[in-house]
C-alpha cells in the first residue's frame, strides 16, 4: 500500500533542494545534510510521526526563507545607505 504522505514528502524534499542552492555553506553541504535527514527517517510508518516530521521540514523552509530575506535586506541596506561607523 502506498503511503498517503508520499507526495507531500517529495514536495517538501524538492522545495528544500531548491532553497539549498543559496545556502551559505554551499549546495553540496546542504544536499548531503538534507539527504541524510530524509534517509534517516525513511522507515517511519506512524502517520502522526510523519506529520510531525513534515511540520518540522516546513519550519526549516520558513527559517531558510527568513535567512535569505535577511541576507538580501542587509545587502540592499549596505548598498544604498551610508553607515556612520
Q: What is the structure's pLDDT at 72?
A: 86
Instruction: Assess whether pLDDT exceeds 50 at residue 1.
Output: no
pTM to 2 decimals?
0.79
Residues 70-78 have a mean pLDDT of 86
Q: Which residue has the higher pLDDT, 53 or 3?
A: 53
Q: How many residues does the chain have?
A: 85
pLDDT bracket for residue 77 (50, 70, 90): confident
Alpha carbons 62 and 57: distance in angstroms, whole number: 9
Domain count, the chain: 1
Q: Is 43 within 8 Å of 53 (Cβ atoms)? A: no
Q: What is the mean pLDDT of the chain?
A: 89
Cα torsion angle, 46, 48, 53, 54, sign: positive
Locus of grid cell 507526495: 7
| Domain with 17 in it | 5-82
Q: Is 24 helix (H, G, I), strand (E, B) or coil?
A: coil
Q: What is the structure's pLDDT at 83?
A: 65
Nearest to 56 by CA among 27, 23, 64: 64
Amino acid at each position: 500500500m502506498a503511503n498517503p504522505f508520499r507526495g507531500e514528502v517529495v514536495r517538501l524534499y524538492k522545495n528544500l533542494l531548491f532553497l539549498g542552492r543559496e545556502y551559505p555553506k554551499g549546495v553540496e553541504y546542504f544536499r548531503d545534510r538534507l539527504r541524510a535527514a530524509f534517509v534517516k527517517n525513511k522507515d517511519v510508518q506512524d502517520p502522526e510521526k510523519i506529520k510531525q516530521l513534515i511540520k518540522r521540514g516546513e519550519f526549516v523552509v520558513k527559517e531558510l526563507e527568513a535567512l535569505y530575506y535577511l541576507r538580501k535586506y542587509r545587502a540592499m541596506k549596505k548598498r544604498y545607505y551610508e553607515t556612520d561607523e
